[in-house]
């Protein structure tokens, strides 16, 4: 992946794809549960949140109403601009920056969130190290990503090279994610898997979307005991 110009790629990506477009069906339900799981893990003592790869700016939508400061960050200026336009607030800032070189001092945020981003980055270990650098003492870095994903490749009609589907460069499990950071300031590492491939395949979202998060979580956990095919993993790196 040494020749992959990720800066240029994701700037064009932001122009070509509207991340603020409404989702529907199973996709909307899956994204909702990812967001709800993250929300359930964010400490109540959090005062400021850095949303890395802000996408639809759902972090701002959720946490501004809880009087938290939110920094919506993306490698392209387009998505942060849209985020500020959609959720204008004195506690909301839009940041254009490369996540491998964040324009912040050490220990700037009590919480950093990177949801469904790490599978796209060229160097996951460097990514985590840089994000954890800006986490305050007793703060948390929360990451979600597909779990043990079997990455599919296609032959690109333009460059005639094998290209990963959805620009997913890596696949992760808890062991790999834990191995990326082991410095002394890591106080704790926690992880949970969730989502179930069979429930998605059977299109159960038609009914499950009616359930509140805690009931869905119980049913999802039971499904993954019977049919252990989780779709996502959420990890928390706690700084000490």
Task: Write out pLDDT tens, residues 159-191.
Answer: 898 999 999 999 999 999 999 999 999 999 999
Contact call for residues 97 and 73 (beta carbons, < 8 A): yes
Q: How far apart are CA 214 and CA 150, in angstroms?
A: 29
The band of 6, judged by pLDDT with boundaries at 50, 70 and 90, is: confident
- Res 18: pLDDT: 87
pLDDT beyond 60 at 2:
no
Angle (deg, nearest 10), helices 25-41 and 213-226: 100
Looking at every residue in the chain, the average pLDDT score rounds to 95
Q: Hunting for tokens 């460069």 — which residue is that?
A: 169
Residue pLDDT, tens place only, 206-223: 999 999 999 999 999 999
Give the CATH number of domain 6-16+43-191+233-239; options: 3.60.130.10, 3.40.50.150, 3.40.1280.10, 3.20.20.140.
3.40.50.150
DSSP secondary structure string, 71-122? EEEESSSHHHHHHHHHS--TTEEEEE--TTS-SS-SS-EEEEEEES-GGG-S
Distances (CA, A) of 204 to 26, 41, 140, 179, 240: 8, 25, 33, 35, 41
Parse the chain into domains and list their residue ranges. 6-16+43-191+233-239
Return the closest-CA partner of residue 188 out of 48, 66, 43. 43
Q: Is the pLDDT of residue 42 over 80?
A: yes
pTM given for the model: 0.95
Average pLDDT over residues 45-60: 97
Q: What is the pLDDT of residue 226?
A: 96
Supply the pLDDT for residue 225: 97
> Tens of pLDDT along 119-162?
999 999 999 999 999 999 999 999 999 999 999 999 988 889 89
In this model, does residue 8 exceed pLDDT 70? Answer: yes
Cα separation, 166 vs 216, in Å, equals: 27
133: Cβ contacts below 8 Å, ≥ 6 apart: 102, 106
Question: pLDDT tens digits, residue range 66-91?
Answer: 999 999 999 999 999 999 999 999 99
Task: Give the pLDDT of residue 3.
Answer: 67
């Amino acid at each position: 992946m040494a020749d992959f110009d990720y800066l240029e790629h994701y700037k064009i990506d932001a122009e070509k794809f509207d991340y603020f477009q409404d989702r529907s069906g199973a996709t909307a339900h899956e994204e909702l549960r990812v967001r709800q799981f993250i929300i359930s893990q964010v400490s109540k003592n959090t005062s400021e949140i850095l949303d890395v790869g802000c996408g639809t700016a759902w972090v701002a939508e959720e946490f501004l109403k809880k009087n938290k400061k939110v920094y919506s960050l993306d490698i392209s200026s387009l998505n942060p601009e849209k985020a500020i336009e959609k959720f204008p607030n004195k506690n909301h800032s839009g940041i254009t920056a490369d996540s491998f070189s964040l324009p912040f001092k050490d220990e700037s945020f009590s919480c950093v969130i990177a949801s469904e981003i790490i599978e796209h980055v060229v160097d996951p270990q460097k990514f985590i190290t840089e994000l954890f650098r800006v986490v305050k003492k007793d703060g948390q870095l929360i990451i979600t990503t597909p779990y043990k994903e079997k990455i599919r490749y296609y032959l690109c009609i333009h460059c005639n090279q094998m290209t990963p589907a959805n620009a997913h460069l890596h696949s992760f499990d808890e062991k790999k994610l834990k191995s990326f950071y082991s410095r002394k300031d890591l106080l704790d590492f926690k992880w949970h898997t969730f989502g179930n491939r069979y429930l998605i395949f059977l299109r159960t979202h038609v009914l499950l979307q009616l359930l509140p998060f805690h009931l869905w979580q119980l049913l999802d956990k039971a499904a993954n005991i019977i049919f252990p095919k989780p779709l996502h993993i959420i990890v928390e790196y706690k700084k000490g």
